[in-house]
A and B are shown apart, each in its own frame.
Chain A
Amino acid sequence: MRAPLSSRIVVYGFSALLAAVCLFPFLWMIVSSLKELRELYTIPPSWIPQNPTLSNYATVLFSSNIPRYFLNSVVISLGSTALSLALAIFASYGFARFRFRGKAAAQSFVLVGQLLPTAAIIVPLFVTLRWLDLVNTYLGLILVYMIITLPLSVWMLTSYFKAIPVELEEAAIIDGASRMGVLFRITLPLSLPGLVAVTVYAFVTTWNEFIFALCFATDSSVKTLPIGLAEFTTEFNTDWGAVMAASMIMTLPVALLFLSMQRLFIGGLMAGATKG
């Protein structure tokens, strides 16, 4: 350990604080998912369930649509993540490495979809989807999610690409590499942390999206997890224990996924690059 003791204490102290802030409401959700219905709302509230129960998890796993929707969500989130990554990589490379007329306009245009209030675009978007005959299909939702995922993916990847010294690419081109070759052999490997960040973003965002899924996927063969959460609510009641249990089932896989991917946040990929 190269750091002196005092700075290690500081790092651990802040890490503990960070973890506490992030986990505090989450712990409350875990506790709630283990409580019986009648214990959920008590005054004073209790941190420890009196009769811890897994019945909420049983409800979610065996007598709700959550397992089926989980599958749908995986397909849709993976699909839209892959598509937006593919589109964004090319677009960002174009924005980061080339000057051309109308670049600023094109870059702002990418953001337009996010500047329109959701409430304003739902109806015409539905019409567009119907016109393409994509209502109630995986592809329809995957496409619609481009409005949400592309702006950030393009903008972030552009800034990550810009951080890579252009000299590295120029050297390769002098050695006879094509533009595509440069992009795939040099730029992408060097921006791996950025790609991970954008992938996680696209996945998380589509995983949790509610209003588009609600309006564009009305058949249970394409409904996603957030709709499953809404199904625990009836007119005058919500099965909060089940909602919390289902939220755990929605949240933990993504956190674990990130745990396995965070190793790819490696520094020093370009050590020495600036000296050359």
Chain B
Amino acid sequence: MTQIQRFASRLAFGASALAFITTTASAGEITWWTPNFNEARARELLTRFQTEHPDVTVNLEITTTNGLPERILTTLQSGAAPDLIDVQHPWVNNYAQNGLVIPLDDVLEAREDYNEAALDYVTWDDQLWGIPYRIEAIAVLYNRGHFAAAGLDPDSPPKTWDELLTTARTLTEAGHSGFAITGGGEVGNTIFRSLPFVWMNGGDLLSEDGTTAVINSPEAVEAVKFWTDMYVEHGVSPTSTLENDGTANRRLFIADQVSMYQSGQFDIASIQTENPNIDIGAMMTPHPEGGEPAAILGGWSWVVPTTAENPEDAKTLIRWLAQPENMGFFTDTFPARTSAMELPRFDDPMLQVFGEMLPYGRPLPTHPQYAQMAQAYFDGIQRILIGEQTAQEAMDLAAEDIQALLDQ
């Protein structure tokens, strides 16, 4: 947090402190921001929480997904923050590095029960800045009907890259787009779908010590080429690839245009309601011969802002919410605690593959300039997809941009 911001928040805080004493927050009152898709479950949990903790009153404020990062940043920077906010894992490190949230090491119970990659995500400077509650990883959804119609066995989906490509081509010849990749929308869509391919091939965005850009290494370029060639070379990804994000691919899948695409379990319900005729299958993300799958771990954490008025009660609420049965109830996808996975709601064959992907989940880099690096990489991918550059040229340029950010 900059001095001016600190000064500003104090100024603002001091000016309205009087008003606060009379109007809001006596001790025991906290405000919790949670996204709209969590609302129903949050309200149910809170009813139970209030009976166990009658001394703490929780005001729930519902946030919307559109504009969420802007709204949270505005409130964090201006010193008018709530006591508890639900945020996506990759945001936590930036908040921590800018002094906008407080460490939560004293809140975490049963550390070994948590997914390790999820904890890595929210760790910075050897401290824990958020409590992960929800995790997920992307795998591949496919249309079993298309497999059967093209003479492929729906029960043995491709496991390796070679098999993936052959299968995608066969499906494309049968009249659909065999394997849809993304090339548009938010940067994250393409990062989550392409970077694991780089990882599986032994490449990475940055060197292990985080000082050098290595996205133009032969392994990385080979992986990027393999992934983008789905569109550029083989045409097994739809012609609209450059304007499609994960949601657009799901819609093409629902419209029976796409046979395989990368997605999380969150798409399954939509597909089932909008086109019940599709027999959905799920497979682990195919890996290079002799390698193993990889994924970026996604999901959500709780954070407590530096300017929270009542951090202690916020911590009490987090401790309660993080109990395995509460966390398991609250999460939209999977819980961050292994023991919570035992709950009956996760015992669903459709979810099995996505659960098996979790151990292969890795966090994104936590460099302060990561967002700009991701943009540089994504710009490179788009240059390949519009045919402006080869994979090598595009990744050389991306590495140059990323290196400039590292050297700043």
Contact = CB atoms under 8 A, between A and B. Distances in A.
Contact of B266 (A122, A227, A235): A235
Interface string A49-80: 00000000000000000000000000000000
Interface string B7-33: 011011001100100000000000000
- Interface size band for B: 35 or more
B70 A130 contact: no
B65 A123 contact: no
Contact of A130 (B37, B80, B273): B80
A133 B8 CA distance: 14
B319 interface: no
Interface string B251-289: 110110100000010110010011100000000000000
A233 B65 contact: yes
B67 A210 contact: yes
A127 B12 contact: yes
A235 B67 contact: no
Nearest to A45: B255
B36 interface: yes
Interface stretch (A15-23, A106-114, A179-187, A214-222): A214-222
Given A122-B74, A123-B77, A234-B37, A37 B274 contact: yes
Given A133-B15, A234-B37, A126 B78 contact: yes
A126 B75 contact: yes
Given A126-B80, A133-B15, A231 B74 contact: no
Contacts of B64: 214, 227, 230-231, 233
B273 A37 contact: yes
Contacts of A258: none
B304 to A, nearest CB: 18
B35 A234 contact: yes
A236 B254 CA distance: 14
Nearest to A65: B62
A260 interface: no
A38 to B, nearest CB: 4
B255 A43 contact: yes
A130 B274 contact: no
A24 interface: no
Identify whether the interface residues of B are mostly helix, strand, loop, or mixed: helix
Interface string B338-352: 000000000000000
A233 B16 contact: no
A195 to B, nearest CB: 34
Nearest to B23: A133
Interface string B86-119: 0000000000000000000000000000000000
A124 B66 contact: no
A127 B255 contact: no
B79 interface: yes
Nearest to B35: A235
Contacts of B80: 126, 130, 135
B246 interface: yes
B43 interface: no
A235 B8 contact: no
Interface string B219-261: 0000000000000000000000000001100111011010000
A37 B250 CA distance: 14
B41 interface: no
Given A122-B70, A124-B8, A235-B266, A219 B35 contact: no
A131 B16 contact: yes
Contacts of B53: none
A177 B65 CA distance: 58
A131 B255 contact: no
A214 B19 CA distance: 23
B155 interface: no
A211 B15 contact: no
Contacts of A236: 246-247, 250, 264, 266-267, 270
Given A41-B254, A130-B16, A237-B247, A123 B74 contact: yes
A38 B275 contact: yes
Interface centre among A37, A127, A210, A218 (most CB of B within 10 A): A127
Nearest to B270: A237
B79 to A, nearest CB: 7
Contacts of A274: none
Contacts of A131: 11-12, 15-16
Nearest to B251: A41
Contacts of B246: 236
B255 A42 contact: yes
A151 to B, nearest CB: 23
Nearest to A126: B78
21 contacts: A38-B274, A38-B275, A43-B252, A123-B73, A123-B78, A124-B8, A126-B75, A130-B12, A131-B11, A133-B16, A210-B67, A214-B64, A214-B67, A215-B70, A215-B74, A230-B67, A231-B64, A234-B65, A235-B332, A236-B246, A236-B264
Interface of B: 8-9, 11-12, 15-16, 19, 35-37, 61-62, 64-67, 70-71, 73-75, 77-80, 246-247, 250-252, 254-255, 257, 264, 266-267, 270, 273-275, 332
Given A38-B254, A127-B78, 11 more contacts: A38-B274, A41-B254, A43-B255, A43-B257, A126-B74, A126-B75, A131-B16, A214-B67, A214-B70, A218-B61, A237-B270
Query: 7 tightest CB-CB pairs across the interface, nearest first?
Result: A234-B37, A230-B66, A126-B78, A130-B12, A230-B64, A41-B251, A38-B274
